[in-house]
Amino acid sequence: MAKVDRRIVRTQEAIKKAFLELMSEKSFDSMTIQDISYRANINRATVYLHYLDKFDLLDKIIEEHIKNMSDLCEAEADMDWIESTVHCMEYLANNYLFFSTMLASGGAPYFRSRFVQHNIEEFKKDVDVTKGKNSGQNEDVVVEFVANAYVGVVEWWLKNGMPYPPQEIAQKVGELLERNL
């Protein structure tokens, strides 16, 4: 495996942090690379060394978190809904700035649809419409319902400043998922 230059990692983290802080303060459309570089305390050319533009930066941040969530789901394949949901809610809480900016503030509508799509793909693995409580239902309808409900609860939780600790909200959401899947 190639050795990663820690300076590059630190620079990219500074850029991402600056970007997310700015997204929580102003609209994406009004944000500039100059704003990001100033906030990250680096020069504009350095931002362009790592990202094509602010759209590329946004896409890369979104895809990084979606990949992390996918990896988390893969690692949780053998867990029950509640235990699995605890890990997801902890990830959301540990990355509060990103998720609250993207979901709660409406910072990037594209992210919400990408997040819903990720959840549809994950829940599709667990839906069985041939037996049990979803017998006879349309699989697409069940999966859309559950994925959108899950994302809606996550939005509510973040918009309200995470009024329940991750473990408690995970227990509540996990029980609802168990009932519906």
Asked if residue 176 and residue 99 are part of one domain, the reply reads yes
CATH number for position 3: 1.10.10.60
Provide the residue range defining the domain that includes 4.
1-51
Asked if residue 73 and residue 150 are part of one domain, the reply reads yes
Asked if residue 90 and residue 36 are part of one domain, the reply reads no
Strands (E), 22-152: none
Strands (E), the chain: none
pLDDT at residue 14, as a whole number: 97
pLDDT at residue 29, as a whole number: 87
Distance CA 123, CA 117 (A): 10
Q: Which residues, other chains included, contact 115 with Cβ-Cβ below 8 Å and sequence gap of 6+? A: 66, 102, 103, 151
pLDDT at residue 86, as a whole number: 87
Asked if residue 97 and residue 39 are part of one domain, the reply reads no
Q: pTM of the entire structure?
A: 0.84
pLDDT at residue 19, as a whole number: 95
Asked if residue 90 and residue 43 are part of one domain, the reply reads no
Instruction: For residue 167, give the nearest of 70, 87, 74, 78 by alpha carbon.
Output: 87
Query: Which residues of the chain are modeled with pLDDT < 70?
Result: 1, 104-108
pLDDT at residue 38, as a whole number: 97
pLDDT at residue 106, as a whole number: 61
Number of domains in the chain: 2
